[in-house]
Amino acid sequence: MTFQRSIHTTFSALAGRLPNSTAVEDDERRLTYGELAQRSDDIARYLQRHGVARGDRVGLFAPRGVTTVAALLGILKAGAAYVPFDPSYPHKLLKFVYDDCRPKLMLVDSSLVSAESPPFWEGTGHELATVFDAGPGAATPLPDVGGDDPAYIMYTSGSTGQPKGVLIPHRGVVRLVIDNPYAAMGPAEVHLQLAPLAFDASTFEIWGALLNGGRLAVVSTPHPSLDDIANSIARHRVTTLWLTAGLFHLMVDHRLDGLKPLRQLLAGGDVLSPAHIARAQRGLPDCQLINGYGPTENTTFTCCFSIPREASHGARMDAAPVHDATVPAAIPIGTAIAHTQVYILDESRCAVADGEAGELYAGGAGVALGYWNRPELTAEKFVADPADPDGRARLYRTGDRVRRRPDGNLEFLGRVDRQVKINGKRVELDEIEATLRRAPGVEDAAVVCPPGDPGSRKVHAYMKFRTAGDTAQGDVRAFLRREMPDYMLPATFTVMQTLPLSPTGKVDRSRLPLPHVGAVSDAAPVARSTPTGNEIEAGLLLIWQEILGVKAVSLDDNFFDLGGTSLQLIAVHAKIVSTMKTDVTVVDLFQYPSIAALAARLRRGAGTAPTAASTAADGGATLNADERALRQKAALARARGTPRRNAR
């Protein structure tokens, strides 16, 4: 079968037929299929010369870019699996992943190294730019790799307090993007690579283009704004885009016009807003919207739903007002994509009747090989497929509750456990609780994440300290920042003398008090902290209050300590640009995360980074690599190293 081939074998066949077609481009480089094939061959042989063999792991600590894409192919050609390390993650988490998977070597961009993120690769690091430019070595044979060989390891949140590595085979990726009709993929398509490499949406973006003869356009900016995304779509003539639900909603709200060049837009990772779908369909008449659903353990997509302009009950979605009651209450996740099977089973693993709720199990060529170094968890989550006569095939228990509608499409109903999605990323609330219990002075903890819009969903933490004197909540927040990515950090911290318990002695989360979002105990009321007549501070204050949904904000409060997320920061940026007519960048907002600091920055000028509008006006000029690297390094250092106010 086609999907039993390796990723790079499939690519090489295309490169031989399309040697002069553009394969990948970013703001500075462009490689044809022939050039990318040669560069990746050179990288593979470099890796071989340094001891990499079939079955090894090679880590990649680098931003998005042409050189990174070439490195991915080179790692696969050397017979190894790639392990992406997200530069935005705290050093301790990166070190855990490194120690867990033990890469043979690391390909790194040293410009990402900072005091807050020092090298964690223990002498195994090789500079990516040097490897990319190393040139051909001896033409040694490359290993024979098949569909069942590991292609990459991607780490996701784990309920035990430690992330777990999902081992994805080549067949899973090939099955995802070859002869799969849920989306158009071929030489006419231009895919935008926007997702972080450590987020499995990048699998669809990269290989959907490069295994079908399409063109991959890479967004090099580390923290792209909505304008940056729209500008990249226009500049690279992008036709296919994937967005998380939250980012899709923001683009529809603020830059819908920037999506007009698209022929197809896939969104997912969380529940899509029918109102935003209706608005997008009115504004993008030539674009097919697709709801993409799937866990990392089944290689990115399990089900997809091409959203029709006719709602299931006959109302036209493109004619419905944004808040019209005729808009469907929920967008289904659709049906299984090709080479994929789905089953809805009850607690006894028996099939439920159509219309009844059950847990979704996924099978087929996309199922992962299991969790790296976690045999017990693998046995729990990857169970035998009763339909396989050989007994070797496995089903993955997604933990998602669904039901089959009369039209055959599946409808997502929620989780059977305490896993949530925040900006498309999986978050195990039990992991946050387990980490909180290790924090200084904390005796017990509980966290909740109430339902809400994907762009504003927040985690709320409740803590019981060992002694009355242990109330250093700021220390707890600092501890968590060293342990987990920013998107997992609780928005609020509430200290309690006791946590409410159920009759069985477990924490009764339903009896936890509502959190006081934005009620910063040591911050003066905003009316007393904002200088009269200071229009910049006053304007920023109104924007923060609107986006964060809080009132108690002082000029010195840190945006992230008020519960702000990276996605909300992008929304703040869009508001600032539209209402204040400034060329401030998203990186500036990361660097200056308080109203006082940002206002001072705005008064003395937003810096030299061009906006989307100025970039278009000057013919496409962009920051050079050194400038962009310095900005990225500074942003990462400031985002994690800026002193925080005491948490609530």
pLDDT tens digits, residue range 510-547? 888 877 544 333 223 333 344 444 889 999 999 998 88
pLDDT at 332: 95
pTM: 0.81
Q: What is the full DSSP assignment across 548-607? A: HT-S---TT--TGGGT--HHHHHHHHHHHHHHH-----HHHHHH--SHHHHHHHHHT---
Alpha helices in 18-65 (DSSP H): 33-49
- Is there a contact between 219 and 192 (Cβ–Cβ < 8 Å)? yes
How far CA 46 is from CA of 111, 134, 517, 587, in Å, comes to 22, 8, 52, 35
Edge-first strand listing for the sheet containing 57-61: 125-127, 105-108, 57-61, 81-84, 150-156, 164-169, 370-371
Could you report the per-residue pLDDT of 595-607, keeping only the tens digit for each?
999 999 898 774 4
Mean of pLDDT values over 343-357: 93
pLDDT of 627 strictly over 80: no
Higher pLDDT, 440 or 55: 55
**How far is it, in rounded angstroms, from Cα 40 to Cα 225?**
31
- Cβ neighbours of residue 207 under 8 Å, at least 6 residues apart? 7, 173, 174, 176, 177
Q: Quick count: other Cβ atoms within 10 Å of Cβ 485?
A: 19
Q: pLDDT band for position 341 (50/70/90)?
A: very high
Higher pLDDT, 271 or 333: 333
Mean of pLDDT values over 104-114: 93
Structure tokens at 592: 């200056």
Could you report the per-residue pLDDT of 433-491, keeping only the tens digit for each?
888 888 888 888 889 988 776 666 789 999 888 776 655 666 888 889 888 888 888 98
pLDDT at 29: 94
Class of domain 29-134: alpha beta
**How far is it, in rounded angstroms, from Cα 307 to Cα 290?**
6
Q: pLDDT band for position 384 (50/70/90)?
A: very high
Q: Strand, helix or coil at 89? A: coil
Q: pLDDT band for position 335 (50/70/90)?
A: very high
pLDDT of 344 strictly over 70: yes
- Is there a contact between 288 and 317 (Cβ–Cβ < 8 Å)? no
**How far is it, in rounded angstroms, from Cα 246 to Cα 237?**
23
Mean of pLDDT values over 572-577: 92
Pairing of strands 240-244, 288-293: unpaired
pLDDT of 312 strictly over 80: no
pLDDT of 619 strictly over 90: no
Pairing of strands 442-448, 460-465: antiparallel
pLDDT of 647 strictly over 80: no
Domain boundaries, the chain: 29-134, 339-412, 427-511, 526-641
pLDDT of 162 strictly over 60: yes
pLDDT of 126 strictly over 50: yes
**Of 75-89, 127-141, 437-451, 625-639, highest mean pLDDT:** 75-89
Please report, rounded to a whole number, the percentage of residues in the chain having pLDDT higher than 90: 55
pLDDT of 227 strictly over 50: yes
**How far is it, in rounded angstroms, from Cα 236 to Cα 615?**
13
**How far is it, in rounded angstroms, from Cα 446 to Cα 608?**
45
Q: Does domain 427-511 have CATH number 3.30.300.30?
A: yes
Could you report the per-residue pLDDT of 547-571, keeping only the tens digit for each?
887 777 888 888 888 878 888 899 9
**How far is it, in rounded angstroms, from Cα 439 to Cα 444?**
10
Q: Which CATH number fits domain 339-412: 2.30.38.10, 3.30.470.20, 3.40.50.620, 3.40.50.261?
A: 2.30.38.10
pLDDT at 311: 46
Structure tokens at 119: 């090298």
Q: Strand, helix or coil at 478? A: helix
The reply to whether 427-511 shares the fold of 29-134 is no
- Cβ neighbours of residue 626 under 8 Å, at least 6 residues apart? none
Edge-first strand listing for the sheet containing 442-448: 442-448, 460-465, 492-495
Mean of pLDDT values over 413-421: 84
| 51 class by beta-carbon count within 10 Å (0-12 exposed, 13-18 middle, 19+ buried) | exposed
Instruction: Give me the half-sphere count of Cα atoms (radius 13 Å) on the Cβ side of residue 55.
Output: 0
pLDDT at 316: 39
**How far is it, in rounded angstroms, from Cα 434 to Cα 444?**
9
**How far is it, in rounded angstroms, from Cα 85 to Cα 64?**
12
pLDDT at 554: 86
pLDDT of 618 strictly over 50: no
pLDDT at 329: 53
Homologous superfamily of the 526-641 domain (CATH)? ACP-like (1.10.1200.10)
Mean of pLDDT values over 49-56: 96
Please report, rounded to a whole number, the percentage of residues in the chain having pLDDT higher than 70: 84
pLDDT at 646: 31
Cβ burial 412-421 (10 Å sphere, 16+ → b, else e) = beeebebbbb
